Amino acid sequence: MATETLVSVSRTRTTWLNALQLALLSFTLTLFCLELIVVSGHIAPLWLSTPLMTIVVFRNPSRSLPLLLAGCVLGVSCANALLLGPAFSNVKFPLINLAQALFGGLLLRRLLDAESPLGSLFDWAKMVFGAVLLAPMFGALLASWLLHITPGGSPHYFISWVVSEVIGMLAIGPVGLLWQRSTVKRLLAERGLEILLTGLATLALVWLALRYVPWPFTMLVVILFYSAVRLPRLAAFSVFLLAIALVTLILTFELAGHDSPNSQLLKVTPWIPFLLALIPAHMMTLVMHAFRADRRGIIESEARFRHAMEFSAIGMALVAPAGQWLQVNRALCLLLGYSEAELKQMTFQQLTHPDDLHADVAQAHALLAGEMQSYSQEKRYYRRDGELVWALLAVSLVRDEQGTPLYFISQIEDITAMKHTAGENQRLMARLTQANEALYHEKERMHITLNTIDEAVIGTDREMRVNFMNPVAEEMSGWLQHQATGKPLAEILRITRGSHGEELENLLQSGLPVAVTPLVENDLVLHNRNDAQFAIHYSFSPLTTQQGDSIGSVMVIRDVSESREMIRRLSYSASHDMLTRLPNRVSFEQQLGELLQENGDRPARHVLAFIDLDRFKAVNDSAGHAAGDALLRELAIVMRLQLRTNDLLARLGGDEFGVLLPECELATAIGIIERLVAAVQAHRFHWQNHSHQVGASAGLTRLDPGFTASEAMVHADIACYNAKHNGRGQLSVWQYL
């Protein structure tokens, strides 16, 4: 509550200060225009107070308008009273001006964007329609009605009122619409001297044109065009305002050359030259602004493309339809061992292995013929040192508006290491897919996906706000480019360590980062807008123009979800028996070693048991190996149900199983294993209308201090052998001699 009170007080003080400043400005502008009336003896073709109030209505919130407009009316009234003496008209005319300003300002609110009121020539046309034409006619009609002057009865008064307001709005309106303190400070800091010199030169040329040139207003248009072409919008409109004020003074005090051919026209209709000078200059200013904006957009687009290509983790190149390298990035130069200049003197055919060249050229011709949109293939390139490198090549074609091919975009990823380890990868894949052919095909598709995956590219401006996203970035973030443009990067991307871990700090902070490619992170996760998650690697690089000016940054993100899932499954396969889904011998021995190490010199607290199936070979011989595999899976479930939650059951090989019973007394362990043996003997296995029954023999040993894993395994194996020797279906405990 205290904070809200302080903010309210501060806002009120600011409004009062602004109202005082507007009162002084209105007083000054009104005094200037009234002096012109006093000198000339009729309504001057320039009135600035009403346009000022119109801009106030457009730019300020409704809650602040009463105080601000009261300041404007007070300033106008004081100027009238000072120059014309006390009279009721000193209040009546400002109130008419206020009504006209409210009408014009509300029209501008409906017609223009508050954030960018003069962003285009169309916006300027809307300003002219609302505030330059309709509002002055409304004010003239209102004044004629209140003063009992009919437009038909006194057309000179009506037209003079309208024209003076029109010229005033054209002169001061664009300046008021574009005025921002931050913009003014930036212009003065960057181009202050140029603006000052251009303004002084313009005013001097205007003076000389009106004094000595036969057709001065034709020259005036040319002079204002120079400022329109040379200066930014706000500076150009400010120069126009000063130029119009100077021209008005010259005409009012009759300082123009008297022998000019159009001097009589200036005396009769002085507002026509104003319009002829202002309107073309305004249009040229906005056309130049649009041209500069388009040029900046093209430069930034080229810089984004260049940096996205240059800092890509894989090789990228632009290739002519005939095969010449047009542009290459550093990753490709490192891959092939050539410098950029050397590659540009060569063709891709020269570096391609002969066995791969025909397929590559054939697909390139199909792409040129329009038979496909893109293609990819694995191929071999010759490095500069003569070595062969395997690469995954993805190619697309860029055409001009007439459909003529311009160049190929090639992405070349080094897969040599993967090819060298292809044999081992295939064996691992075969082990994972023996039980299910469908799973095999799924993993093959995943393998292909990992080889052809693309990267997400996001560009930002200097304030880390998004200004570019490629389709992959749109898919991974869940934001379309037009939705994300202008938003902070931290709002678009949420990256954590793990799916539910803490967010990565200082990654998406405001302010441009230095170029960075982090070490491999095994747990970075991107959460997109639709609650989807991607395991990622990323790199960050600043964007600069050719002059070294910073214009933003580029972030490249690679989706590594598939590869991380593959590693998890391979790890599971390496530690489990794929038939029974129980831990395998390697995993069992590792757990045994950890228990022995944990045991230390303390008395035995753990028990090891070996289980060997009886009559299992008979089932294999009579019913087949498929029946034997099914029986092993059923018995694995039966035995697991007899153990405690923290006990470990593993398949050691064939029909042999091992059991680790941690924190278990020997007597308790004997009872557990006896129940397990009994459950195996009681189990009936049905296969193809035949019933089979097997048994089990078990050997137990305590894990005494000083035992090694191999010694414990030997003791349990000997005890199991004794149990089978004693008649099978028995349980034997290792005893020291």
End-to-end CA distance of the chain: 86
CB 484 within 8 A of CB 492: yes
Q: Which two tokens stand for residue 556?
A: 């490249």
Q: Is 559 annotated in the active site?
A: no
Per the DSSP assignment, residues forming a β-bridge with 319 are 325, 408
234 vs 240: CA distance, rounded Å: 10
- From residue 20, alpha-carbon distances to 33, 311, 537 in Å are 20, 55, 58
Backbone angles phi, psi at 86, to 5 degrees: -60, 135
Backbone angles phi, psi at 258, to 5 degrees: -80, -15
* Candidates 360, 655, 704, 717; catalytic one: 655
The amino acid at residue 487 is K
598 vs 596: CA distance, rounded Å: 5
676 vs 380: CA distance, rounded Å: 59
Per residue, the 3-state secondary structure of 17-75, as one string, reads: HHHHHHHHHHHHHHHHHHHHHHHHCCCCCCCCHHHHHHHHHHHCCHHHHHHHHHHHHHH
The amino acid at residue 480 is L
195 vs 182: CA distance, rounded Å: 16
656 vs 535: CA distance, rounded Å: 40
CB 560 within 8 A of CB 537: yes
Backbone angles phi, psi at 100, to 5 degrees: -65, -40
Q: Looking at residue 147, what DSSP letter applies? A: T
- From residue 365, alpha-carbon distances to 372, 374, 406 in Å are 10, 11, 14
620 vs 624: CA distance, rounded Å: 5
CB 546 within 8 A of CB 526: no
Residue indicated by tokens 């557990």: 672
Q: Which two tokens stand for residue 319?
A: 């290739």
Question: Hey, is 451 helix, strand or coil?
Answer: helix
The answer for 654, left when phi > 0, alpha when psi is -120 to 50, beta otherwise, is: left
CB 596 within 8 A of CB 709: yes
Strand 466-469 to 455-460 pairing = antiparallel
Q: Angle 167-71-142 (CA atoms, 0-180°, nearest 5)?
A: 50
CB burial of 22-49 (b: ≥16 within 10 Å; e: otherwise) equals bbebbbebbbbbbebbeebeebbbbbbb
Q: Is the dihedral of CA 221, 225, 231, 233 positive or negative?
A: positive
What single string gives the DSSP state of each residue in 594-655? HHHHHHTTSPP--EEEEEEEESHHHHHHHH-HHHHHHHHHHHHHHHHHTS-TT-EEEEEETT
Q: Which two tokens stand for residue 598?
A: 């944990």
Q: Quote the distance between the C-alpha of residue 654 and its chain's center.
A: 56
Instruction: Give me the sheet containing 607-614, strands edge to edge.
Output: 648-653, 656-661, 607-614, 695-702, 731-733
> Within 369-477, where are the H helices?
416-420, 422-433, 437-452, 471-477
Q: How many CA atoms lie within 13 A of 669 on its CB side?
A: 28
Rounded to the nearest 10°, the torsion over CA 98, 100, 106, 108 is -120
Query: Which residues touch 465 (CB under 8 Å, ≥6 apart)?
Result: 486, 487, 488, 489
CB 92 within 8 A of CB 146: yes
CB 672 within 8 A of CB 644: yes
Catalytic residues: 655
